[in-house]
Amino acid sequence: MMMLEVDESSERTRMLRLGFGDALGCGPSLDEIEARVLRLEQLAQSLPRYRLHGAIKLDLLSREAYVAGRAVGLHPREFALLWRLAETPGEAVSANELLYDVWRLSFRPETNSLAVHVSRLRAKLRTSGVDGLVETLPDGSYCLLAIGSRPALPLDGNLALDGYLRMGKEQLTF
Q: Domain limits at 32? A: 2-46
Quote the number of domains for the chain. Answer: 2
The chain-wide mean pLDDT, for the chain, equals: 78
Q: Are residues 71 and 136 in the same domain?
A: yes
Count CB neighbours of 149 within 10 A.
13
Q: Are residues 79 and 54 in the same domain?
A: yes
What's the average model confidence in pLDDT over 74-83?
A: 96
Q: Are residues 24 and 88 in the same domain?
A: no
Report if residue 173 sits inside a domain: no
- pLDDT value of residue 109: 83
- pLDDT value of residue 90: 93
- pLDDT value of residue 21: 66
- pLDDT value of residue 29: 63
Q: Are residues 117 and 81 in the same domain?
A: yes
